[in-house]
A and B are shown apart, each in its own frame.
Chain A
Amino acid sequence: MRDILKSNFVRNAFIILVLISLALGFSKSYTSYNIDNLDFALSLGLDVSDTDESKLKVTFEFTKSSIYSPESNGNEDVKPIINTVEASSIDSAINLMNAHLGKEVKLSHCKLIIFSEQVAKKGISKEIYTLMNNVQIRPSTNIIVTKSDALSYIENLNPTIENHITQYYEAFPESR
């Protein structure tokens, strides 16, 4: 028995087993949060829902990445994709949007968070705390409160000079 345990073959096999189990143990992380399985939301809009006063209507804005490739002409007019769900909180809205899109929604590059005036009047401390505790949201995100509802604001927020909407979102909240 001792000879078996001392032999190099058993020791190497044990080390390889440990390494494989480690690679398998992390498997959920590297398969689920790959760059291929993620959709990045560019902005977030919050309204009061039409049907139920206590629920929120959450709007996510995405964009097609093909306009960023160097082979595109630059003349393409690609509109950003806007999706809306009704949910009781931001986290459940993200869950619903994950189910709808198939890819996971990640808020790491969300530059704008837009509240409509109706939502703001009802009190938004719950949503602000949710966003503050969220790991993905940047601390430098801009918060906007609009008179109209957030959905129409996002739909009409089109850059006239730039082609790419991400550049526009970085520049205009900081301008004076």
Chain B
Amino acid sequence: MQNSKFNTKEAIAIVLTVAIAHSLLSLPKNLITNQKSAVLLNIIFVTFIALCFVYIIYRLLKNFSGKDIIDVSEFFGGKKLKIILGIIFISYLSFSASIFLRNFCECIKVVYFPNTKVNFIITLFIMAIILACSLDYNANIKTNYIIMPIVLISIILLFVFNLKNFTVDRMFPIFGNGIVNTFVTGIGNIYAFGGIIFLYFLPPLLKEPQHFKKISILSIIISALYILITVSIILFMFAYFVNVDEIMPLFSAARNIEFGSFFQRLESIFLLIWLIIIASYVSIAMTFCLGIFKKITNTTDSKPLVLPFGLLFLGISMFPKNYAFSYFLETHIYPLLNIGIVFVLPFILLLLANIKSKKLKKRGERYFKV
């Protein structure tokens, strides 16, 4: 029943999964709606800011070698802060994964299952995720690592096969809605790198903790490349006015691939692969929720908790009554929550904890009271 530790490559795949999963749904469309044609410049700019942020986080976490953010909060504020922060992170992870699952199931329902209720589609997902999470040795993270290259290759194939449908002129005007919109207001687009939340919990789980810097920087770069490719597919293929009402725009892009009369309408084969990565994203979110819960309640075994957490995810995803409300949650509430809980809150906490540890060091005490 032991849980083994992660490799560097598996850790990179964990952080990448968030970017991949969200960009299969509606992330490129939201980015294009805000920035119009300057979205490529904006993403490059936001990548630099994310890289700087991740480097600062790495330096702040280096003082507490081998501890993750829950232990840092215990050091800073005692048990109460640890429990409060643990609950905040669990609720954020479950909210984002469940609402994402709900949105995706609604989109699939429109295309393939118009007569089924969406509850059954979500239940099928959650059952597979509960089964996968209850296996030991972190099987779902290894599954994620196996499937990840196949998804990346499928997106590159999508880009290459659609080249004849691209109009590169849609990239111009290059500053889109203006410089202020692109570079100042556009910093809010950093929510695309929501995978950083998993970086905070990684240090005690790594086999080679000295590679933490490499993990963080490589994962940001690869997810930025991935987001660039997906956004450019959608930007060059569809006009923005048509863009507003598309569900799963990458799916619509996959419908346009054809070679002669035999290979047409191949989007279902792409969907076969994308569904696996989405299930693995939600199962990774559940694994980390279980890990945080184990830490704040000091339990040894998290296997009996898989079923209650699965039902929690199911309940949250069935909470919106219709697609309009869950779409609103995904496009307006999720980015704000993301920026607040993934970027602002841990940054402030780590800064204050570092200041406290320096003060304690000056006084000569051990800086980690256990």
Which residue numbers of A lie inside 8 Å of B, CB to CB?
18, 22, 25-26, 28-29, 32-33, 108, 135, 138-140, 170
Contact = CB atoms under 8 A, between A and B. Distances in A.
A32 B115 CA distance: 9
Given A18-B127, A22-B124, A29 B258 contact: no
Contact of B116 (A18, A28, A135, A140): A28
B269 interface: no
Contacts of A139: 255-256
Contact of B264 (A25, A135, A138): A138
Interface string B342-368: 000000000000000000000000000
A26 B127 contact: no
Nearest to A27: B116
A49 to B, nearest CB: 29
A91 B255 CA distance: 22
- Size bracket of the B interface: 10 to 19
B117 A140 contact: no
A112 B349 CA distance: 63
26 contacts: A22-B120, A22-B123, A22-B124, A22-B127, A25-B116, A25-B117, A25-B119, A25-B120, A26-B113, A26-B120, A29-B112, A29-B113, A29-B115, A29-B116, A32-B115, A33-B115, A108-B265, A135-B110, A135-B111, A138-B255, A138-B264, A139-B255, A139-B256, A140-B256, A140-B258, A170-B261
Most buried by A among B112, B120, B258: B120
A94 B120 CA distance: 28
Nearest to A18: B127
Contacts of B255: 138-139
Contacts of A32: 115
Given A18-B127, A28-B116, 9 more contacts: A25-B117, A25-B119, A26-B116, A29-B115, A32-B115, A33-B115, A108-B265, A139-B256, A140-B258
Contacts of A29: 112-113, 115-116
Contacts of A18: 127
A100 B204 CA distance: 67
A4 to B, nearest CB: 17
B342 to A, nearest CB: 34
Contacts of B117: 25
Nearest to B265: A138
B110 to A, nearest CB: 7
A170 B115 CA distance: 32
Contacts of B112: 29
**What are the nearest 9 A-B pairs in CB distance?**
A25-B120, A28-B115, A170-B261, A139-B256, A29-B113, A29-B116, A135-B111, A140-B258, A139-B255
Interface string B312-341: 000000000000000000000000000000
Interface in B96-146: 110-113, 115-117, 119-120, 123-124, 127
A159 to B, nearest CB: 15
A29 B120 CA distance: 11
Nearest to B245: A133
Contacts of B264: 138, 140
B113 to A, nearest CB: 5
Given A138-B264, A170-B261, A25 B123 contact: yes
Interface in B254-271: 255-256, 258, 261, 264-265
Interface string B187-207: 000000000000000000000
A3 B256 CA distance: 58
Contacts of B123: 22, 25
A116 B343 CA distance: 59
A138 B123 CA distance: 31
Nearest to B165: A139
A79 B255 CA distance: 31
Contacts of A26: 113, 116, 120
Most buried by A among B112, B115, B117: B115
Nearest to A32: B115
Nearest to B256: A139
A33 B115 CA distance: 10
A139 B258 CA distance: 9
A157 B140 CA distance: 56
A134 to B, nearest CB: 11
B131 to A, nearest CB: 10
Nearest to B120: A25
B358 to A, nearest CB: 53
Contacts of B110: 135
Nearest to A171: B261
A146 B212 CA distance: 66
Nearest to A133: B245
A156 to B, nearest CB: 24
A53 B115 CA distance: 35
A23 to B, nearest CB: 10
A140 B111 CA distance: 18
Nearest to A19: B127
Most buried by B among A25, A32, A33: A25
